[in-house]
């Protein structure tokens, strides 16, 4: 999506400037607005960090043109990096745990990238290790490592947040976003806290995920179907700073599944599970604020819809809850 009206030299220039749309189910007194990130050329929010990280890494000389980018990724980041790498004269190699959707892996390959699968049970930690091993075997290779790279959060600080700020004339009362790496939420939190320290910041994860351990809570780790957010090992979530977060929302898969269906049927949003979890948490914040239980500096709540449900149709997102494979 772009608001540019002139011809553009490549798809890289269409990253960002996504629409901000009111969630119809939100209260009139405190509307929720969602940034529709499937309008990016690789159809997810991760195009923003693909472009930003690679451009900055080339500028800094972390990697030179003709080199290789190796990234451990659940999928969307791979697509975002692959879109950017091809335009910036870089090769892309991705280390992907098997559980992630086949659609994403096909798209990464279509964009010219190589995909290496690691066993699901070894988790993201092992995928990260493999990526570094592979990079050390090559000259002119770099691992952006979205989980610990400040450029990830910076992409949202420099693009996502200012776009929202401009669209709402600075009147942002709360920012609510699901955390995979935490890059989206941290970048937006930094931006809006600088403008209004009282901005409410809500983190979203699936129930069964371990982000609550950052707040010294005991968590019963369980598998979840919601894709793209949550963690089973908080030592990998280096970017996440609990000091910047007012509250964490742990959304059961069952509620997320119902909201995915509702957003499509009632609001015309073909968005995936992390969007639905974000929607529920953002609506809760808005309803509390509208009911006088929560004080926000402005009467609005902002969230993101990171990607589209089309990317997960093979997993049965619109079938019954039991049939949804997650
Ligand atoms: N939703 C989806 C579909 C994602 O792929 C991701 C990234 N893993 C997120 C949400 C979370 O974004 P972040 O990594 O910035 O926390």
Q: Which of 158, 228, 231, 244 to mutate to test the pocket of ligand 1 (most atoms within 8 A of CB)?
A: 228
Give me the residue spans of the domains in the chain: 11-39+150-315, 46-142
* Local structure of 95: helix, strand or coil: strand
Q: Are the CB atoms for 151 and 57 separated by under 8 Å?
A: yes
Q: What is d(CA 46, CA 146) in angstroms, rounded to the nearest whole number?
A: 10
Whole-number Å distance, alpha carbon 36 to ligand 1 midpoint, is 13
**Residue ID of nearest Cα to ligand 1 atom 8:** 228
Q: Torsion over CA of 70, 75, 80 and 82, rounded to 10 degrees?
A: 50
Read off the pLDDT of residues 3-45 as tens digits, 9 standing for 90 and up: 567 899 999 999 999 999 999 999 999 999 999 999 999 999 9
Q: What is d(CA 78, CA 68) in angstroms, rounded to the nearest whole number?
A: 13
**Residue ID of nearest Cα to ligand 1 atom 6:** 228
Whole-number Å distance, alpha carbon 163 to ligand 1 midpoint, is 18
Read off the pLDDT of residues 251-263 as tens digits, 9 standing for 90 and up: 999 999 999 999 9
> CATH says 46-142 is which class?
alpha beta
Strand 247-251's sheet: what is its strand order?
Answer: 20-23, 32-36, 301-305, 174-178, 200-206, 247-251
With residue 203 as reference, give the H or E element that holds it. Answer: strand 200-206
User: Within a 10 A sphere around the Cβ of 136, how many other Cβ atoms?
Assistant: 10
Q: Is 183 in the pocket of ligand 1 (CB under 6 A)?
A: yes
- Pairing mode, strands 20-23 and 32-36: antiparallel
- Pairing mode, strands 68-72 and 91-97: parallel
Whole-number Å distance, alpha carbon 310 to ligand 1 midpoint, is 16
Whole-number Å distance, alpha carbon 29 to ligand 1 midpoint, is 29
Q: What is the DSSP letter of 271?
A: B
Whole-number Å distance, alpha carbon 7 to ligand 1 midpoint, is 30
Same CATH topology for 11-39+150-315 and 46-142?
yes
Among 35, 46, 225, 315, the one annotated catalytic: 46
Q: Is 228 in the pocket of ligand 1 (CB under 6 A)?
A: yes
- Closest ligand 1 atom, residue 49 Cα: 15
List Cβ neighbours of 137 (8 Å cut-off, separation of 6 or more). Answer: none
Q: Is 229 in the pocket of ligand 1 (CB under 6 A)?
A: yes
Question: Comparing C-alpha atoms, which of 188, 198, 224 is closest to residue 33?
Answer: 188
Decide yes or no: CATH 3.40.50.1100 for domain 11-39+150-315.
Answer: yes
Question: Comparing C-alpha atoms, which of 165, 156, 157, 154 is closest to residue 20?
Answer: 165
| 225 flagged as catalytic | no
The tokens describing 200, both together, are 């409410």
From first to last of its 326 residues, what are the pLDDT tens digits of the chain? 455 678 999 999 999 999 999 999 999 999 999 999 999 999 999 999 999 999 999 999 999 999 999 998 868 999 999 999 999 999 999 998 887 667 888 999 999 999 999 998 888 789 889 999 999 999 999 999 999 999 999 999 999 999 999 999 999 999 999 999 999 999 999 999 999 999 999 999 999 999 999 999 999 999 999 999 999 999 989 999 999 999 999 999 999 999 999 999 999 999 999 999 999 999 999 999 999 999 999 999 999 999 999 999 989 999 999 999 98
Residue that has been written with the tokens 């509390």 in this structure: 288
């Amino acid at each position: 999506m772009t608001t540019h009206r002139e011809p553009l030299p490549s798809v890289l220039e269409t990253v960002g400037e996504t629409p901000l749309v009111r969630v119809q189910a939100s209260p009139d007194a405190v509307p929720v607005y969602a940034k529709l990130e499937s309008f990016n050329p690789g159809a997810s929010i991760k195009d923003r960090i693909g472009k930003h990280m690679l451009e900055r890494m080339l500028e800094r000389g972390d990697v030179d043109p003709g080199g290789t980018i190796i990234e451990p990724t659940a999928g969307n980041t791979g697509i975002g990096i692959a879109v950017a790498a091809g335009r910036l004269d870089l090769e892309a190699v991705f280390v992907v745990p098997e559980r992630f959707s086949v659609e994403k892996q096909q798209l990464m390959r279509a964009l010219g990238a190589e995909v290496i699968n690691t066993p699901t049970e070894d988790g993201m930690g092992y995928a990260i290790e493999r990526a570094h091993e592979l990079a050390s075997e090559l000259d002119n290779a770099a691992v952006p490592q979205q989980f610990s790279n400040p450029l990830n959060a910076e992409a949202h600080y420099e693009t996502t947040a200012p776009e929202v700020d401009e669209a709402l004339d600075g009147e942002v009362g709360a920012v609510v976003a699901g955390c995979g790496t935490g890059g989206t939420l941290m970048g937006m939190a930094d931006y809006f806290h600088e403008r209004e320290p009282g901005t409410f910041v809500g983190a979203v994860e699936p129930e069964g995920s371990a982000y609550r351990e950052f707040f010294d809570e005991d968590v019963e780790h369980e598998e979840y179907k919601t894709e793209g957010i949550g963690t089973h090992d908080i030592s990998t979530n280096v970017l996440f700073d609990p000091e910047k977060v007012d509250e964490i929302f742990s959304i059961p898969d069952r509620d997320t599944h119902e909201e995915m269906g509702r957003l499509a049927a009632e609001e015309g949003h073909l968005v995936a599970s992390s969007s639905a979890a974000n929607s529920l948490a953002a609506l809760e914040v808005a309803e509390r604020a509208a009911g006088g239980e929560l004080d926000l500096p402005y009467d609005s709540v902002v969230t993101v819809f990171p990607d589209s449900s089309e990317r997960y149709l093979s997993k049965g997102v619109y079938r019954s809850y039991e049939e949804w494979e997650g």
